[in-house]
Amino acid sequence: MSGQPGQMRLHWSPRSPFVRKVMIAAHELGLADRIGTVRTRVSMTEPNDEILADNPIGKIPTLVLADGTVLYDSGVICEYLDALAGGTLFPREGPARWTALRRHALGTGFLDMLILWRYERARAAPHPGVLEGFEGKAAATLAALETEAPALGHDGFTIGHVALGCALGYLDFRFAELGWRDGRPALAAWAEGFAARPSVRAVPVMDD
Amino acid sequence: MSGQPGQMRLHWSPRSPFVRKVMIAAHELGLADRIGTVRTRVSMTEPNDEILADNPIGKIPTLVLADGTVLYDSGVICEYLDALAGGTLFPREGPARWTALRRHALGTGFLDMLILWRYERARAAPHPGVLEGFEGKAAATLAALETEAPALGHDGFTIGHVALGCALGYLDFRFAELGWRDGRPALAAWAEGFAARPSVRAVPVMDD
């Protein structure tokens, strides 16, 4: 527990890409110092009573405010932090908002899929059709992102950018062998710019 | 394809609880007539090129607006419809918003878990520890909802209510043997009121 009284408390892990999204948003918004982190281990098989008490789904990140209010999932936490700081990660309305939220859903949906893909690969008897399904959807997602990359570079910096950047960072971390940059120069260039932001450099992808 | 020119087009299935959430929201908001539905079959193993062209993650619901703009996931679609109709499913700000969004995340997270649990049960060699993990989290979630049920009945009707009601409907549909109402009278009573709403009755849980 590294929080202080009155601070927010975040169920945290250095390996979760969803926690990383929240911490990058916090750095973008100048709020990182107000968030104390609690190292919380979650797994498909080992119950963790500490997280279940705050979030019965048992997922991280989960944020506990100073008054005891609990917030999840990662998208809700990010929107709360953006409102708290008066930020611009979540455009307030109109097409800019729907584009940012659609990109955020694409990034988080991609991450959900990659995490399930990784579980499947690690099973004693992986299902070949399921593995093939993940491979096809990952290729479709990367193709769509290559098409969208030029627009990403011109649309400011929203929660959609954070989510997509975290998904690409997770690919580098857990699926390096995919070589996702091959044949996708626009997306690779965008990811390079993302990785160079101070908020992103402040929250490196890391193992324990 | 049951849409008309100028209408919105929704990738739809009668069995998806996430599609059901969108359709209940559309009925609440008086927008159901403006949404044409396309029967879209998705699976972990069979690629569906039609949905991948609109949403590379390959998930339903996915909404295509009259101008070709694509929106996903279900939460983003619901918020778009709420804004279009000037509705109150998404409180605009403050604690009411964070409570609604946290409940929405609880309902959708519960559904994600139940769907994975169902896949796991159907495998040739289910992982006992994974099955046990799902069972423990489902029990924790239902206990938390029993505690929250009285507040649910007094907090208006938001996207959080829709998501939680759809999760309980999915329990009845796919996990009837859990007997989730046993020992949870407050939640059972709330679910009864939910099921009686015209918007919910208009979108029954059904198989093909």
Residues B30-40 pLDDT 10s: 999 999 999 99
Collect all residues of chain B within an 8 Å Cβ-Cβ radius of residue A57. 106, 109-110, 113, 137, 141
Q: Which residue of A has its CA nearest to B142?
A: A56
For position A154, what pLDDT does the model report?
Answer: 87
For position B108, what pLDDT does the model report?
Answer: 98
Which residues pair with residue B62 across a beta bridge?
B11
- List the domains of chain B with CATH numbers: 8-85 (3.40.30.10), 94-201 (1.20.1050.10)
Q: List pLDDT tens digits, range B48-61.
A: 889 999 999 999 99
For position B160, what pLDDT does the model report?
Answer: 98
Question: Longest C-alpha distance within chain A, in Å?
Answer: 50
Q: How many residues does chain B have?
A: 208
Enter the pTM of the model.
0.96
State whether the Cα torsion B160-B166-B167-B172 is positive or negative: positive
Taking residues B56-73, report their average pLDDT: 97
Collect all residues of chain B within an 8 Å Cβ-Cβ radius of residue A109. 57, 59, 72-73
Phi, psi of B72 (to 5 degrees): -160, 165
- Answer whether A110 sits within 8 Å of B44, measured CB to CB: no
For position B3, what pLDDT does the model report?
Answer: 47
Q: Which residue of B has its CA nearest to A111?
A: B57
Average pLDDT of chain A is 94
CB environment A154-187: b (16+ within 10 A), e (fewer) = ebebbbbbbbbbbbbbbbeebeeeeebbeebebb
- Answer whether B140 sits within 8 Å of A52, measured CB to CB: yes
Collect all residues of chain A within an 8 Å Cβ-Cβ radius of residue B129. 44-46
Tell me the shortest Cα–Cα distance from A17 to chain B, in angstroms. 17
Phi, psi of A71 (to 5 degrees): -125, 140
Q: Which residue of B has its CA nearest to A79?
A: B98
What is the percent of chain A with per-residue pLDDT over 70, rounded to a whole number? 96
Q: Which residue of B has its CA nearest to A80?
A: B98
DSSP assignment of B75-142: HHHHHHHHHHHT-SSS--SHHHHHHHHHHHHHHHHHHHHHHHHHHHHHSSS--HHHHHHHHHHHHHHH
Q: List pLDDT tens digits, range A60-86.
A: 999 999 999 999 999 999 999 999 999
Q: Answer yes or no: are the C-beta atoms of A2 and A39 closer than 8 Å.
A: no
pLDDT at B112 over 50: yes
- Answer whether B133 sits within 8 Å of A73, measured CB to CB: no
Show the CA angle centred on residue B104, arms to residues B102 and B109, nearest 5°. Answer: 95
Distance CA B70, CA A99 (A): 9
